[in-house]
Amino acid sequence: MDIDWFQKIGNFGLTLLIVTVYGLFMGAFIERIIAKVQGRVGIPYTQPIINILQTLTRRTAISHGIMFYLGPVFRIAGGVGTLAFVPVIFGSETFSNFSGAGDLMLVIYFMFFGQLGMALGAGESGHPYAAIGIARGLSQMTAYEVPFALSVIAIVLQYDTLSITEIVAAQQGGWQHWTLFTNPIAVAAAMLAFLGMTGYSPFDIFLAPQEIPIGPPTEFHSAYLSLLQTNRALFGATKLVLFMNLFFGGATGWVELAIKTWAIYMVAIAVGVAFPRFRIDQSIRFFFKIPTLIGIASIVYVQMALVR
């Protein structure tokens, strides 16, 4: 038993490294796409890794309190915890992580954990803009989690399981078995929520780069900033893998994973480069209207058409 657990931990460590590096290169690729649309050259593909190495080696003598520095720790703990219960490659013992019965509930919990911990950390800084960012971030998070939760409820009812592995297994046998085609209403609600999760325009509310010239890159520094940069890549890639598993049939190999996650990510990027940023009230109203109604409709659809 002990040997099995050591092997699982080692396999998860390998998965963690691969997914993090993949997220870093994916982030650089997306930044280059946005730059091309805006008529700029963009960053080199190695820039995210260079940034992490630079900040990781720096130290600071400034102190804002224990909770301020626990914020990035909680943030990356949420990203690592989320990935730990998401099977990355279906059918692979090495890359299945700790997926088991009811892991979907644990994943949703860890997705909240990191963001709430980050809010507590930013609030400790005492900066007035931190309070604004927390209010905006938590407000939008609450708004987009509603349609996402409704879509998750719909597919749980559809597949009658809380196991992500079993949900992926139910979608095997061809593209026609993907949730995208068996329950497109739930997928529509989830993808609209995904736009808010990515933090790109028009839902870059909590960062507000055009409005507030401050945020985690200036409030957090040294090794703490490297944790945030690492988690941004890790958590972003993990969410892509989760959406791929729940709605797009999962992946049986790394090439399939790369293609599907890239396609999912490009939905948010295409919207981001086409629309200007919403105000916080516009963002919240949007998620509580159309995506929420679609999420409710997905549950009704499952109960009436799919559940027998």
What is the per-residue pLDDT across 123-149, written as a single tens digit (0 to 9) for each? 777 777 777 777 787 888 888 999 999
Q: Please tell me the predicted confidence (pLDDT) of residue 282.
A: 87
Mean pLDDT of 94-121: 81
- Per-residue confidence band for 98, with pLDDT thresholds at 50, 70 and 90: confident
pLDDT of residue 131: 73
User: 213 with 133: CB under 8 angstroms?
Assistant: no
C-alpha 150, offset from chain centre: 17
pLDDT at 306 over 70: no
Q: Are 248 and 155 in contact (CB under 8 A)?
A: no
Which range, of 49-53, 222-226, 235-239, 299-303, averages the lowest pLDDT? 222-226
- Tell if the pTM clears 0.75, that is, is over it: yes
pLDDT of 308 > 60? The answer is no
